[in-house]
Amino acid sequence: MREAWAPLAVLAAFAAAPLIGYSGAYETTLMARAMILGMAAVALAFLVGGAGLVSLGHAACLGVGAYAVAILDAHGVTEAAVVLPAAIGAAALFALATGAVAIRTSGVHFIMITLAFGQMAFFTASSLAAYGGDDGYTLYGRTEVAGTRLLEDRLAFHYLCLAALTLTWASCAMLLASRFGRVLRAARENAQRVEAVGLAPYPFRLIAYAIAGAVGGLAGFLLANATEFVSPATLSWQRSGELLFMVILGGAGRLWGGILGALVFVMLETWLAQQTPHWKLVFGPMLVLAVLFLRGGLAGLVARRG
- CB 223, min distance to other proteins, A: 26
Cα–Cα distance, 114 to 57 (Å, whole number)? 5
- CB 75, min distance to other proteins, A: 34
* Interaction between residue 13 and other proteins (CB under 8 A): no
- Please count the CA atoms within 13 angstroms of the CA of 82 that sit on its side-chain side: 14
Judged by CB under 8 A, the residue of 108, 197, 277, 293 near other proteins is 197
Judged by CB under 8 A, the residue of 179, 292, 293, 304 near other proteins is 179
* Interaction between residue 178 and other proteins (CB under 8 A): yes
Residues contacting 295, CB < 8 A, separation 6+? none
Judged by CB under 8 A, the residue of 159, 185, 279, 296 near other proteins is 185
Residues 204-233 that bind other proteins (CB under 8 A): 204, 207
Candidates 5-13, 28-36, 127-135, 187-195 — which segment interacts with other proteins by CB under 8 A? 187-195
Residues 251 and 298: beta-carbon distance below 8 Å = yes
Indicate the angle between helix axes 154-177 and 5-16, nearest 10 degrees.
170
Q: Quick one: how far is CA 252 from the chain centroid?
A: 13
DSSP state of 20: G
* Interaction between residue 198 and other proteins (CB under 8 A): yes
The count of residues interacting with other proteins (CB under 8 A) is: 25
Cα–Cα distance, 191 to 180 (Å, whole number)? 14
Residues of this chain that bind other proteins (CB under 8 A):
174-175, 177-183, 185-186, 189-190, 192-200, 203-204, 207
